[in-house]
Amino acid sequence: MEVLDSIEKVKKPINWKSGIVLFVMLLMTIQTIVVYGFQFNYVSVIIGYALSIFLFYIKKDVWIYVFLILIVLILLDFIPFYYFSFQIGIGPMHINMIALFFLIIHLNVNEKSIKGLMKNKKKKVDIQNKKESNAVVSRFEFKFRKKTKSELLSILENDSMREEAKQAATNLLQK
C-alpha cells in the first residue's frame, strides 16, 4: 500500500530520456521472444526489466543501479537479452559488445543522476562519520574529566594522540 501511495505522491514528470536504453533493450528482448519463441533463460532478464521499469515509474533513482547490474550481467554473458550478439572472447570469458554499447549510453545519459546519488551517499557517510567522531570525543571527555590543566595541555602537545582526544582536551580546557 505504501508503494502505491508513493506513486500517487510523486508529481514531477517522468524523464523519458534517462530511460531510453531501458526501453530499447526491452523492445529488443520482446522482439527476440516474439520471433524465436519464449525460452526459460529470458526469465531473469524480464524480471530485471520489470523491476527497473517499476522503479523508473515511481521515480526512484535506484533503478539506475538495478538496470546497471542487469546490463553488466548481460555484458558478461550471464543472461541473454537478444538473439544476436557480437562478442569478444578472452579464454572462457566473453564480452557482449552490444551490451557494452548500451552500458556506455546508459552511463552517459544518466551521468548527473549517478553523480547526484554518489554525492548523497557521501553526505550520509560524512554525517555518520561526524556522529561517530562526536561519540569518541565524548568518551575521551569522560575519560579526561579528572585530569589537571597541565595534563590536558600535554595531551594537546602530544602528536601521537588521536584528533578526537585532542578535541576532548580542548573542550575540557575551555570549560
Q: Is the pLDDT of residue 6 over 60?
A: no
Q: Is the pLDDT of residue 156 over 70?
A: yes
Q: Is the pLDDT of residue 56 over 80?
A: yes
pLDDT at 14: 67
At 76-126, the pLDDT tens digits run 888 887 877 788 888 888 888 888 888 888 888 888 777 776 666 666 666
51-55 mean pLDDT = 86
Locate the domains of the chain by residue range.
2-109, 118-174
| Whole-number Å distance between alpha carbons of 164 and 166 | 5
To the nearest whole number, what is the mean pLDDT of the chain? 79
Three cell numbers at 138?
Answer: 565524548
More confident residue, 12 or 51: 51
Secondary structure, 3-state, the chain? CHHHHHHHHCCCCCCHHHHHHHHHHHHHHHHHHHHHCCCHHHHHHHHHHHHHHHHHHCCCCCHHHHHHHHHHHHHCCCCCCCCCCCEEEECCEEEEHHHHHHHHHHHHHCHHHHHHHHHHHHHHHHHHHHHHHHHHHHHHHHHHCCCCHHHHHHHHHCCCCCHHHHHHHHHHHHC
Q: Using 50, 70 and 90 to split pLDDT, how confident is the model at 9?
A: low
- Percent of the chain exceeding pLDDT 70 equals 84
